[in-house]
Amino acid sequence: KQNAECRHRCCDDGKISESIKVITHSMGSVFSKGYLKALIDYIMANPELCDGISITEYNFAPYQPQSYSAILGVDTYQYSHKNDNIAGDKHIEGAKYQSTSDDKNDGHFIEDFFKYINTLPSGLYRWVNGDIVKQ
């Protein structure tokens, strides 16, 4: 039975129970930090509604990663190639650095990370008749 107050297909008691995955590339990494900080602020201000949320962020070729850090409460992973002549391979403070290729052909483009993106866990939700439903 779905709670009538809850517009999400989440659970019977109206609490939001979701797995949120954010995937970024290059400058999108720093953009996502603001988005995720606002989301964490909402969760902290509304714990009675959000005790089932988990957030994971995957940053591919993050631009200037040494100038920002992972958001507290967000499980953060960084994928950087040694030979990326645009973003380099410095670390995001607080992120789990994933070992990637040092192949000369692996650079900054998102296509250079497809082999890693394809290994990420898939979500268990889908869009059905205007609603997100758990599979």
Per-residue pLDDT of the chain (135 residues; tens, 9 = 90+): 334 444 444 555 666 667 788 999 999 999 999 999 998 898 888 888 776 788 899 999 999 999 999 998 899 999 998 888 899 889 999 999 987 877 777 889 888 888 888 888 766 666 666 565 665
Give the pLDDT score at 7. 46
pLDDT of the residue at 16: 62
DSSP one-letter code for 113 = G
| Residue 132 exposed, middle or buried by CB count within 10 Å (0-12, 13-18, 19+) | middle
What is the signed CA dihedral for 29, 53, 42, 131, rounded to 10 degrees?
A: 90
- Torsion angle (degrees, nearest 10) of CA 102, 105, 109, 113: -50
By three-state DSSP, how is residue 115 classified?
Answer: helix
